[in-house]
Amino acid sequence: MVHTVNDTPVCAEQRPPLTRADLKADKPTWCPGCGDFSVLAIYQKLLEKKNLPQESIVTLSGIGCSSRFPYFVNTHSVHFIHGRILPFATGLSLSRPDLHPIVFIGDGDAYSIGGNHFDHCARKNVRLMVVVMDNQVYGLTKKQTSPTSPVGFKSKTDPWGSKVTPINPTKKLISSGATFVARTAASNPNHMLEMMEAALDHDGFSVVECFSECVQFNPGSFDAAVPRKGGAYPPVPEDHDVTNEEAAYALTREPFPGHFGIYFKVDRPTLNETEGGLAESPTSDTALKDVRQQLEASLRQLT
Amino acid sequence: MVHTVNDTPVCAEQRPPLTRADLKADKPTWCPGCGDFSVLAIYQKLLEKKNLPQESIVTLSGIGCSSRFPYFVNTHSVHFIHGRILPFATGLSLSRPDLHPIVFIGDGDAYSIGGNHFDHCARKNVRLMVVVMDNQVYGLTKKQTSPTSPVGFKSKTDPWGSKVTPINPTKKLISSGATFVARTAASNPNHMLEMMEAALDHDGFSVVECFSECVQFNPGSFDAAVPRKGGAYPPVPEDHDVTNEEAAYALTREPFPGHFGIYFKVDRPTLNETEGGLAESPTSDTALKDVRQQLEASLRQLT
Amino acid sequence: MTSFREIPPGTAYAGPETLNDAVIRIAGNSQDGIQSVGAMLARLAGRSEMDVMTYMTIPATISGGPSIFQVHMGSGRVLSAGDAADILVAFYQHSYDDHLESLRDGGVLLYDSTNVEPDLDVLRERRITPVPVPMTSLTIEILGGTGKKKGKNIFLLGLLAQAFRLDMEKIRRLLGEVFGHKDESVLRNALLALEGGYAYSIGDMQSFFTFEEPRHEAGEAGVTKVTMTGNQALAYGAVAAGIRFGAAYPITPWTEVMEQLRYDLPRYGGSFIQTEDELAGIAAALGAAYGGVPSMTGSSGPGLALKSEAISFAVMAEIPLLIVDVQRGGPSTGLPTNVEQSDLNLALHAGHGDAPRVVMAAANVEDCFHLVIEAVRIAHEYSVPVIFLSDQAIATRIEAFPLPDLTSVLQFPGAKPETVDSYKPYPLDRITRHMPPGTRITDGKYPNVTGLEHDEFGHPSANPKVHMAMTAKRRAKLEALAETLPRPAVQGPKAGELLLVGWGSTMGVIREAVDRAAASGVEYSAIHLRHLNPLPPGLEELFRRFERVLVVEMNDRDANGCGQLARVLRAQYALPHIGGITKTDGLSFRIGELLARIEETVGGHAVFVGPAVSHANPNH
Amino acid sequence: MTSFREIPPGTAYAGPETLNDAVIRIAGNSQDGIQSVGAMLARLAGRSEMDVMTYMTIPATISGGPSIFQVHMGSGRVLSAGDAADILVAFYQHSYDDHLESLRDGGVLLYDSTNVEPDLDVLRERRITPVPVPMTSLTIEILGGTGKKKGKNIFLLGLLAQAFRLDMEKIRRLLGEVFGHKDESVLRNALLALEGGYAYSIGDMQSFFTFEEPRHEAGEAGVTKVTMTGNQALAYGAVAAGIRFGAAYPITPWTEVMEQLRYDLPRYGGSFIQTEDELAGIAAALGAAYGGVPSMTGSSGPGLALKSEAISFAVMAEIPLLIVDVQRGGPSTGLPTNVEQSDLNLALHAGHGDAPRVVMAAANVEDCFHLVIEAVRIAHEYSVPVIFLSDQAIATRIEAFPLPDLTSVLQFPGAKPETVDSYKPYPLDRITRHMPPGTRITDGKYPNVTGLEHDEFGHPSANPKVHMAMTAKRRAKLEALAETLPRPAVQGPKAGELLLVGWGSTMGVIREAVDRAAASGVEYSAIHLRHLNPLPPGLEELFRRFERVLVVEMNDRDANGCGQLARVLRAQYALPHIGGITKTDGLSFRIGELLARIEETVGGHAVFVGPAVSHANPNH
Ligand SMILES: Cc1ncc(C[n+]2csc(CCOP(=O)(O)OP(=O)(O)O)c2C)c(N)n1
Ligand SMILES: Cc1ncc(C[n+]2csc(CCOP(=O)(O)OP(=O)(O)O)c2C)c(N)n1
Ligand code: SF4
Ligand code: SF4
Ligand SMILES: [Mg+2]
Ligand SMILES: [Mg+2]
């Protein structure tokens, strides 16, 4: 991938390679044992592996424990408001095609308050990578039911156990038109790295739904997906056709813990392509003369 | 159905039957030829047929041409704000189980600004009937692209034709967990009546996605579904199993104009059932003594 | 033409007047194309270096329904859309019934005699000259059956060209521009209808008045003018201001701004997207602004309310953003197609916490172009969201103003990624200027942009001193901005009995009212505020020089009679002689109405408040 | 215990003092259960008919981290959480390091000598008595290995019971209530730890001070008190107010209100649901309110901002609704666990258009119970949304107040469907009182409830007169409400040099500051406003009786030094002697701080502003 940063194409080779040390920032404030540590470590590993120019990476988040992410990784980063980081990242992605915007958010941010933005980013196929750190609970606000909390989950807002059907993230994403949908778990770092890398390489709206255990308020929630805790980590069947929407949909309906891997991956023009205008780097001001001519012509039509 | 209005069960038979004349209100302000007239007529016919107590019917809407609906039918009615009538109706449905809240909204209101509320009403299975009057355009604001506008649709916000994949309403609804999803068209009044009646009879979140032509800004859009204009009105295949989610999903993927009829219908506990508290009619104030005892007991625990 | 030339009994006919500006009200249904004929009249006036201002109403029904379009064109300083009309054009009986009142005594009623039957007694009594023309039937005659719908407005244009002695060559050229790209027959029909109207004898109308194309004041002669609505001007202004990204959701009366920018921005290497809702609109605009691209969002009241939470973020994270609110009647869905200035409170306070932002308001169509450039400049110079208020009246009315000198006004405040040694996003010793992502920072410390309270590097901090310092910083930059703002010019005496204060679309009316009062020998003064937060310097001192300060605004009053801006000024200066003249009928102030309200409020002045004729120059 | 009883050189030991109220600050980590021991102390104080108020901080990390809990308990009128502490309990070295400053000179430092090493020189200089207790090791000794974590707090409770001569029987009963429903061993361990602490010899601490359980003022004796946080009180108050439906989304520090109501409302035939976001929360609450069920929503600043559009609807459609905002530091995500009063502007103006609503603010925990009942009554009597402001300080602190007499305060303003002849939802001649759906209307005309401007039947109307009349109607009902509001009581002289005006959680501090000033011979006056919109009558007249009016609030100042309420009062009364004392450090005012700020602002008074000791009654 060639970037146009500072107006000259920068090839990563001209610099010392990016190391994980470069990517260290504040000490994470997560609870000891929180699954989010592992997601962070793998993200740093991914960035190291991809060796992207550090200044071209933008780490973005909403609000939640998981959304504290940007402070812990040393890239340009934004800690936005609850539920709206997808449209924010859309604006950034469209207007700055030279960057790599990568979003990390929690299940509440993603599927509760932010649910609609997911559907619209998906159908519009915005060039954007999103990792949902799903702990099936509201962590930061200390244990309320999240849209992915299973039936029976006891929380401060469901003291008798939740009774409503949770949102099925992969189902939601596939049906709303996301062009890359994968499922992984923080307990399986290698698999997580593989999924994140595939998502980063995808040209379009790519979402990694990632189990990340909240040891504080939902401990043991994903044990059924952790082999060393007696669970299973069933991969997506080998013969699964990732371009087959109906097959992918069927896969989302498997009982917990379901399958892990790429559920769906197709190519469709991105919004970035169809909204071509901005590809021309409007941050350049050399074009002011052209602006004058064009605008003058428009105004003269109204004389 | 027995209602507890005025604290005594009212049987519809005790009154003269509800007639369409009773249901007439303001003269509709829609453009001549607008599909919405037909939806209105069928709604009035449905109410006449069901002969529900007039005071128990609540007609609700958001904002849009279609959402002018409540003024044109003589029931208790609410013209709320853009995109939020579903949670409004949820509050009403939960707190007043004796009523029949029925929502009429446009495609923009439903699937653009209001899209997230649909998903959450669906998964929670709120007892509520919704008719989406889909004209695949923003009518009231005079022709912008709607989330259901097809690729290539030219509007004031897509002068070169829309390039993004539209939302597929039935797909969205089925995948998010609605327990009743049907598809009809204002050009076929009998079918519309049948679908609306089935939706009204359904105990849960029931949605009728209804083509309603905007003759002003999107004329001819549904001709392909109007036999007298050379189109076809293919019914849902007879052997379709409405309880089979995957089959219903497959049906939503058929090319335009797709099938008409009930796509999906299953029974699942409604939010109204699981949130049992309010069934006891909190509007009764005879219970204040009990309130005092209960609250006193709680407070004494804090002495 | 029975009644033509009939002089009302007891009224001495005093010979023709010479109008050097004229108000024409065209009343019909919206399907009749009265908007487009009105717009063409406005364009023509602009091309003749006349001043022009229009005013229209929009029907309550979804499409179609009664509607009017009013054009005020003429001499020197046309500042309001006019009060009473000099000519009323009535297409239907309901047009006549509903609008006769708005025609001044002694005016001309031009009506479609195919549809309208006027009450001649009333006309006589009010010295109104009826001019019956069977417009519908004549147009059908000229164009065949469909002409009734499609050509009547152009036929009318021909009639008016005749009455006002407009330059037919210019009109033909204009029609060519408007219809030229359509099917050839369309233009041919239009020209036919035009000539038909022009040729149809309306008799010696000139014996009632002669319209004289005004000479311009020195300096203005030879000035090329552009004619457009406020929404158009806002969109062009945004381009000139350097805006290259926008995101919003449609809502009346904001929508045309985004429609035009969606169409135009790609030509400038930009893009404007329609989002799923207003919350996404502002979020996307903030994302692009963070990327260094000058960006905007916009809406009307309901949408601005939805953007509240993100506005608070923009203040906290110090991201430059243009946020337009084209106000309409509120609260809630309110009066979507009427004018009101009732979103000022929201503009000042949308969002939670101490969240100082800039609020500016356009006074007219020209402002929509020029002031928005200033707004975008300020947003970037101070890293702050700027809420730019327009309103339904400005948005929809057409005005002519001098073709902007683009060489001097164009700007591009975008930020380009560079390589820097080190970087603090939120320095305490100077105003934040963001470096966009892509900026390479050689000391290797990349910044956080955040809505949490933060230290200078953007790290979260709940340290009491940090919050105090950062809160003060966000406030102080607006105090610094305030000092740079121009003191508003005073119309009229610099001290005296009464100072009127206006903001937004009331400017023209207030100016004309002051002029008219002066003509009656009463000296009022007026200022107009474009900067509502922070306020420009010098106001307190100015206010103290007047016995009474009345803020004229179209919103509701409090117990002291103060509207929303008046309360802001009182909070700021604690001057009890600041009061208000407010109204909440969803209509623009008329000049006579304003003068009457002033009299009522201050009492006892002999200002002429009858029907508006000051713009007519009686010749007898 | 080397240093115990060491008297600082140069300080004459003056014998023991008698405290009749005491401030205890417990500093540790949040995992140590210091909140729960603090809460138990507060409960105990409440049961002993003492006044009590607590204050706590929340760590910045997601779970765990340094944290304090401060209890002020004692005589007559405990109005603030106290300034400097009489006793500091330090569990760790960092607790000691960070909080020694908050201990008054001459106070007692009780520390876990397993972890803390104090600087004895400093203690000596400040006449602080160190009391070392190896809490960790002793608790482990008593309970075994796990005791370190689980029992240290209860061991501390025993120590404090000893030091303050608390009634051990009451404490044992309390532990039974708190742990009784858990595994039996839990209670047993707790009792073991308690007795261990009580028995451990802390030497002759009583020779430094004696805590005397205060006698109560006449009338208060024998009063049963409840002890709870502001959020708890708000939830109970909502039940008492008749609220039977609620819908909201979690956010700190609002969440506990909804959590408790979600749990409790079903017992009252009601329900509180967690919605997908704040916009859905207010919409659902409006739906239920429309159904005739008294309803509420709530949030903190970010969520209130998101509810803005729907608030404007509630005003327009005239739907009664309780909207709670538990304020935290802003703007944006701001300081989620700090206190600030910076949402007043938003509460007054959230939403577009002229949208008058009621705004009230609780002054303390007791208010959260009683005032919310009034808020719900007003909402229904005037068919209007009421925004009820609390803040992080009130929400999280514990106070004891008299057990409410439910028979006199309970209400149920719900509307029952009836049968009526005819019905206008928006009559112009009286205040709207909605008839809920289910109402049978025998003339057969069913009403529209709408956000469009409407006539009396709820039909859309853009008629200028209708909009004027309806706008005036929505305003006038608040004017009518204003007349019924009680004039706020004045503490101190009714006229004079300085009137302090408070709102929200500053009440206690202002009162104590006025008391303390009076004790120093300086006469200040104070009022506290609970009704912020509309304002109660009589303020202007009152303000005029003082030379200076200073509004004390925790938000940012303008160029005149005025905070958000001060600006409202200036806008209303245009009195230039209204000024402000504001702050933005995210912390509650301390009494000394406030007195210093007053002095700084008004100048030259000899008010004692040193460390807080006025609540200690020196006996020497
Ligand atoms: C508008 C708004 N509403 C609510 C909140 C409070 N809040 C912060 S994070 C959060 C949810 C956290 O859950 P999730 O997104 O799953 O993230 P997690 O903490 O579990 O990683 C909520 C409700 C907020 N900050 N802003
Ligand atoms: C918050 C808000 N945003 C935008 C609008 C403007 N608006 C009114 S209706 C509408 C969309 C209409 O489209 P649709 O929902 O499909 O209804 P239709 O008119 O086509 O029946 C919009 C954008 C509004 N009233 N409120
Ligand atoms: S609360 Fe849960 S999600 Fe948050 S940091 Fe702790 S373990 Fe992780
Ligand atoms: S604009 Fe379209 S949807 Fe609206 S009333 Fe007219 S035809 Fe119907
Ligand atoms: Mg979560
Ligand atoms: Mg539509």
Q: pLDDT digits over A219-267, tens only?
A: 999 999 999 999 999 999 999 999 999 999 999 999 999 999 999 999 9
Q: Which residue has the higher pLDDT, B268 or C3?
A: B268
Of the candidates B5, B84, B99, which has its C-beta nearest D279's C-beta?
A: B84
Residue B244 contacts A where some CB pair is shorter than 8 Å: no
Percent of chain C with pLDDT over 70: 89
Mark yes or no for CB contact D277/A157 under 8 Å. no
Q: Which of C249, C251, C257, C267 to mutate to test binding with chain B, by most B CBs within 10 Å of its CB? A: C249
Residue D217 has pLDDT above 60, yes or no: no
Ligand at shortest distance from the CA of C333? 2
Of the candidates A65, A81, A157, which has its C-beta nearest D250's C-beta?
A: A157
| Rounded Cα distance, D41 and D511, in Å | 24
Least confident of A15-19, B273-277, D246-250: B273-277
DSSP-derived pairing of the beta strands A205-211 and A128-134: parallel
Residue A281 has pLDDT above 90, yes or no: no
Q: Which residues contact C60 (CB under 8 A, 6 or more apart)?
A: B29, C337, D460, D462
| Rounded Cα distance, C164 and C159, in Å | 9
User: Looking at domain A14-268, does it have CATH number 3.40.50.970?
Assistant: yes
Query: Residue D138: what pLDDT?
Result: 87
Cα torsion C6, C12, C15, C17: sign:
negative
Using a CB-CB distance cutoff of 8 angstroms, which residues of chain B are in contact with residue C61?
Answer: 29
Using a CB-CB distance cutoff of 8 angstroms, which residues of chain A are in contact with residue D282?
Answer: none
Q: Which residue has the higher pLDDT, C142 or B45?
A: B45
Give me ligand 6 centre to Cα C58, in Å: 20
Mark yes or no for CB contact C343/D351 under 8 Å. no
Nearest atom within ligand 1 for CA of residue A105: 15
Percent of chain D with pLDDT over 70: 89
**Average pLDDT across chain C, whole number:** 89
Residue nearest (by alpha carbon) to ligand 3 atom 1: A139
Query: Residue C44: what pLDDT?
Result: 84
Residue C76 has pLDDT above 80, yes or no: no
Q: Which of B72, B135, B136 to mutate to test the pocket of ligand 4 (most atoms within 8 A of CB)?
A: B135
Using a CB-CB distance cutoff of 8 angstroms, which residues of chain A are in contact with residue C232?
Answer: 302
Using a CB-CB distance cutoff of 8 angstroms, which residues of chain D are in contact with residue C309?
Answer: 302, 305-306, 332
Give the pLDDT band of residue A12 (cuts 50, 70, 90): very low
Query: Residue A7: what pLDDT?
Result: 43
Q: Which tokens sit at D497?
A: 């040099």
Residue C413 contacts B where some CB pair is shorter than 8 Å: no
**How many angstroms separate the CA of residue B122 from the nearest CA in chain A?**
9
| Rounded Cα distance, D141 and D246, in Å | 49
**How many angstroms separate the CA of residue B31 from the nearest CA in chain C?**
6
Q: pLDDT digits over D44-66, tens only?
A: 887 877 778 888 877 666 777 88
Give me ligand 6 centre to Cα B188, in Å: 18
Q: Which residue has the higher pLDDT, C178 or A67?
A: A67
Give me ligand 4 centre to Cα B30, in Å: 6
Kind and range of the H or E run holding A261: strand A261-265
Residue D28 has pLDDT above 60, yes or no: yes
Tell me if B65 CB under 6 Å of ligand 2.
Answer: yes
Least confident of A124-128, C128-132, C496-500, D351-355: C128-132
Give the pLDDT band of residue D32 (cuts 50, 70, 90): confident
Query: Residue C144: what pLDDT?
Result: 77
Of the candidates B79, B292, B299, which has its C-beta nearest D451's C-beta?
A: B79
Map out the domains of chain D with their CATH numbers. 17-216 (3.40.920.10), 227-409 (3.40.50.970), 419-484 (no CATH), 496-602 (3.40.50.920)
Q: pLDDT digits over C419-459, tens only?
A: 999 999 999 999 999 999 999 999 999 999 999 999 999 99
Pocket of ligand 4 (CB under 6 A): B 30-31, 34, 36, 65, 135, 139, 214-217; C 62-63
Give me ligand 1 centre to Cα C129, in Å: 70
| Rounded Cα distance, A107 and A90, in Å | 19
How far are the Cα atoms of C452, C535, D535, D548 from residue C577, in angstroms, in the given order? 42, 18, 21, 20
Percent of chain C with pLDDT over 90: 67
Dihedrals φ, ψ of D229, to 5°? -85, 165
Mark yes or no for CB contact D250/A82 under 8 Å. no
Residue D540 contacts C where some CB pair is shorter than 8 Å: no
Query: Residue D67: what pLDDT?
Result: 87
Residue nearest (by alpha carbon) to ligand 1 atom 7: D251
| Rounded Cα distance, C315 and C426, in Å | 12
Domain ranges of chain B: 14-268, 275-303
Residue D261 has pLDDT above 50, yes or no: yes
Residue C27 contacts A where some CB pair is shorter than 8 Å: no
Query: Residue D143: what pLDDT?
Result: 83
Give me ligand 1 centre to Cα A171, in Å: 22
Residue nearest (by alpha carbon) to ligand 2 atom 13: B138
Mark yes or no for CB contact D255/A113 under 8 Å. no
Mean pLDDT over residues C583-604, rounded?
A: 91
Count other C-beta atoms under 10 Å from residue C1's C-beta. 12
Query: Residue B12: what pLDDT?
Result: 46
Least confident of B131-140, C325-334, D17-26, D193-202: D17-26
Percent of chain A with pLDDT over 90: 89
Q: pLDDT digits over C366-386, tens only?
A: 999 999 999 999 999 999 999
Kind and range of the H or E run holding C285: helix C278-290
How far are the Cα atoms of C486, C528, C533, C536, D148 from residue C483, in angstroms, in the given order? 8, 18, 12, 7, 61
Mark yes or no for CB contact C310/A81 under 8 Å. yes
Q: pLDDT digits over C528-546, tens only?
A: 999 999 999 999 999 999 9
Mean pLDDT over residues C6-35, rounded?
A: 68
Q: pLDDT digits over D161-212, tens only?
A: 888 888 888 899 888 888 877 788 888 888 999 998 988 887 766 666 677 7
Q: Which residues contact C229 (CB under 8 A, 6 or more apart)?
A: C256, C365, C395, C396, C397, C398
- Residue of chain D whose alpha carbon sits nearest to that of B24: D445
Query: Residue C220: what pLDDT?
Result: 59
Q: Which of C236, C245, C421 to mutate to test binding with chain A, by most A CBs within 10 Å of its CB? A: C245
Mean pLDDT over residues C265-287, rounded?
A: 96
Contact D330/D340 with Cβ under 8 angstroms?
Answer: yes
| Rounded Cα distance, A122 and A127, in Å | 10
Using a CB-CB distance cutoff of 8 angstroms, which residues of chain C are in contact with residue A271?
Answer: 273
Mark yes or no for CB contact B177/A163 under 8 Å. no
Size of interface B-D (CB pairs under 8 A): 227
Mark yes or no for CB contact D273/B94 under 8 Å. yes
Give the pLDDT band of residue C35 (cuts 50, 70, 90): confident
Of the candidates D61, D249, D255, which has its C-beta nearest A113's C-beta?
A: D249
**How many angstroms separate the CA of residue A223 from the nearest CA in chain D?**
22
Amino acid at D451: G
Of the candidates D43, D264, D276, which has its C-beta nearest B120's C-beta?
A: D276
Residue D351 contacts C where some CB pair is shorter than 8 Å: yes
Q: Which of B40, B63, B148, B217 to mutate to test the pocket of ligand 2 (most atoms within 8 A of CB)?
A: B63
The count of residues in chain D is 620
Q: Which of B61, B80, B135, B141 to mutate to test the pocket of ligand 2 (most atoms within 8 A of CB)?
A: B141
Mark yes or no for CB contact A216/D63 under 8 Å. yes
Q: pLDDT digits over D376-396, tens only?
A: 999 999 999 999 999 999 999
pLDDT of chain B along its 303 residues, tens only? 333 344 444 454 578 999 999 999 999 999 999 999 999 999 999 999 999 999 999 999 999 999 999 999 999 999 999 999 999 999 999 999 999 999 999 999 999 999 999 999 999 999 999 999 999 999 999 999 999 999 999 999 999 999 999 999 999 999 999 999 999 999 999 999 999 999 999 999 999 999 999 999 999 999 999 999 999 999 999 999 999 999 999 999 999 999 999 999 999 999 999 987 554 444 444 467 789 999 999 999 898
Q: Which residue has the higher pLDDT, D416 or C165?
A: D416
Residue nearest (by alpha carbon) to ligand 4 atom 5: B30
Mean pLDDT over residues C477-493, rounded?
A: 97
Of the candidates D270, D276, D309, which has its C-beta nearest B278's C-beta?
A: D270
Selected residues 267-326 of chain D with any CB under 8 Å from a CB in chain A = 274, 276-278, 302
Mean pLDDT over residues D593-612, rounded?
A: 70
- Residue of chain C whose alpha carbon sits nearest to that of A69: C448
Q: pLDDT digits over D564-584, tens only?
A: 999 999 999 999 999 999 999
Residue C452 contacts A where some CB pair is shorter than 8 Å: yes
Kind and range of the H or E run holding B85: helix B85-95
Amino acid at D153: N
| Rounded Cα distance, C372 and D390, in Å | 39
Residue nearest (by alpha carbon) to ligand 4 atom 6: B31
Contact C540/C570 with Cβ under 8 angstroms?
Answer: no
Residue D131 has pLDDT above 80, yes or no: yes
